[in-house]
Amino acid sequence: MIKFAVLKITFLGTGTSQGIPVIGSNHPVCLSTNKKDKRLRVSVLIEWDNYSYVIDCGPDFRYQMLRAKVSKIDGILFTHEHADHTAGLDDIRPFFFRQGDIPIYAHERVMNSLETRFDYIFETENKYPGAPSVEKIVIENKPFKLGDLEIIPINGFHNNLQVFGFRFGDFAYLTDMKTVEEDEVEKLKGIKVLVVNALREEKHESHFNLKEALDFIDKVQPKKAYLTHISSLLGFHQEVEKNLPKNVFLAYDTLELTI
């Protein structure tokens, strides 16, 4: 039996691209006073031994780092290039000033997008002295190492856009998925905890809805599953969770797991 490192997972954000509450919205969930109904853009912090990695850094990244009291990151993994997953890249500056170049891991297409949008970060000549720098690590759909842990990418599609999920030992994190091929599902077999997106009850062209997420969980058969990338249209946290299968839960911002 393979033994994996003990992981600490912190949900930095569990909301959809606009977050909850949505600016100017009078939707009842956006007006909720329950802290679990207030969701920043999706991201997780994964820690083990002396390692600390973040998956995605959206526009709420700075506040997420402050709220979780993160003082060091060993790198950032990107699922895809959309703004709610990448727009906080400039806020790696405090880490860069203390640590030097920050490793970032992304598909070649995503790396090219980041280089275009954050050209001053990737500049090598006449670089602005206050800009951070990164170490680029292009990843493909094959395992790679972070420290002493093997990471397995899970390839999926966000409508027609390729996205990566990631398996860290007994934990897997998938967001912005709409379709996942059977050979990729096989990579998830035997995991203890699965995180997967569930936008709302109604169908959506590029995200799992609630039924699709639950069907996917049933196919993978993890011991526990958590839903993320949630919109206000899914409903109130407290009400939705009452109707989920006994091993499925709604993730919420600041939730911590040990696996």
What domains does the chain contain, in order, with CATH numbers? 8-258 (3.60.15.10)
Give every CB contact of residue 75 below 8 A, 6+ residues apart in sequence: 53, 54, 102, 103, 104, 105, 137, 146
Give me the chain's average pLDDT, please.
Answer: 96
Give every CB contact of residue 26 below 8 A, 6+ residues apart in sequence: none
State which residues of the chain have pLDDT below 70: 1-3
Cα gap 2→127, rounded to integer Å: 46
Cα gap 165→24, rounded to integer Å: 32
Residue with tokens 């000549």: 125
Cα gap 99→102, rounded to integer Å: 7
Burial 230-256, CB ≥16 within 10 A → b, else e: bbbebbbbeebeeebeeebbbbbbbbe
117-129 pLDDT, tens digit each: 999 999 988 889 8
Question: What is each CA distance from 249 to 91, 112, 230, in whole angstroms?
Answer: 31, 36, 12
- In the beta sheet, which residues pair with residue 196? 227
66-101 pLDDT, tens digit each: 999 999 999 999 999 999 999 999 999 999 999 999
A 10 A CB-CB count for 4 gives: 15
Cα gap 193→173, rounded to integer Å: 9
pTM over 0.75: yes
Cα gap 1→169, rounded to integer Å: 12
Cα gap 111→28, rounded to integer Å: 38
Q: What is the pLDDT of residue 3?
A: 58
Q: What is the pLDDT of residue 1?
A: 45
